[in-house]
Structure 1
């Protein structure tokens, strides 16, 4: 059988890497994982005050211009005997903040909720911490 002549193989061209254009900064937010805002609540309440709503609206406008996600860490005062009650109240607070943010333009898929119940970090017991998470 005759051997067929194979065409010579050319070396592949080296890919050129182009630097990406710098993206224009649309909002100034704290670095990833830092607390962006803290919402304090009255004992036993999950109602947002008008002042809280104003701060949340301003924050929502800034975050909406980014691709960042938010994590809501909610706490409630309680004792060792009523951890379930504290967890339910903290969830109610987190959902109140989440609902307000959604009503003001943030997609629900960008907001994570953690109802932690009794605060064990030494911080204020009745609060929701809003953390900025980069994708």
Structure 2
């Protein structure tokens, strides 16, 4: 098998288009509404051990402090991760990415949640 084909087979494949959890500017607390949005994700992950979840977090920055935006985005991703762990999802099934102010589309203050297969 060619290396490119092998890489495609081992790379995670997206199961759904995912969704975004909005956060207030500068905030990292998980709102009750966001917890409600995560409920179906928890159910799907519990129903199928072969699924994983990707958390891609963003935060608005002013251009002069991208490290601050990255810290805020990390706090947001970890808040979502902690909630999923509280719901019984193992941390080894989660990929966390703190992307700071690298957002090019959509709200700058959010965590994108996507289910992927192994």
TM-score by length of 1: 0.72
> Kindly tell me: are residues 72 and 85 of structure 1, through their superposed partners in 2, closer, same or farther at Cα, counting changes over 3 Å?
same
- Counterpart contact for 2:58–2:100, Cα < 8 Å: yes
Q: CA separation in 2, counterparts of 1:116 and 1:35? A: 19
Question: Given the superposition, is the C-alpha separation of residues 43 and 89 from structure 1 closer, same or farther in structure 2, using an over 3 Å criterion?
Answer: same
- Residues 79, 48 of structure 1: CA spacing in aligned structure 2 closer, same or farther, 3 A cutoff? same
1:56 aligns with 2:38: yes
- 1:34 deviates by 4.4
**Mapped contact 2:56–2:112 kept (Cα < 8 A):** yes
Tell me the equivalent position of 1:113: 96
Which of 1 and 2 has greater Rg? Answer: 1
State the alpha-carbon separation in 1 of the partners of residues 36 and 16 from structure 2.
Answer: 21
- Between stretches 119-128 and 70-79, larger displacement belongs to 119-128
Of residues 61, 67, 71, the one that matches 1:78 is: 61
Deviation at 1:32, TM superposition (A): 1.3
RMSD, aligned α-carbons = 1.5
- Are residue 41 (structure 1) and residue 23 (structure 2) matched? yes
Q: Which runs of 5+ in 2 are unaligned?
A: 1-12
Shift of 1:33: 5.9
Greater RCO (Cα-Cα under 8 Å, separation 6 or more): 2
Q: Give a deviation string over 1:11-41, Cα, whole Å, max 9, x none.
A: xxxxxxxxxxxxxxxxxxxx71643221000
- Given candidates 77, 86, 91, the residue that maps to 1:103 is 86
The aligned residue for residue 74 of structure 2 is 91
Pair 74,35 (structure 1): closer, same or farther in 2 beyond 3 Å: farther
Runs of 4 or more consecutive aligned structure 1 residues displaced over 4 Å after TM superposition:
none
Q: Give the alignment's TM-score, normalised by structure 2.
A: 0.82
| Structure 1: unaligned runs, 5 residues or longer | 1-30
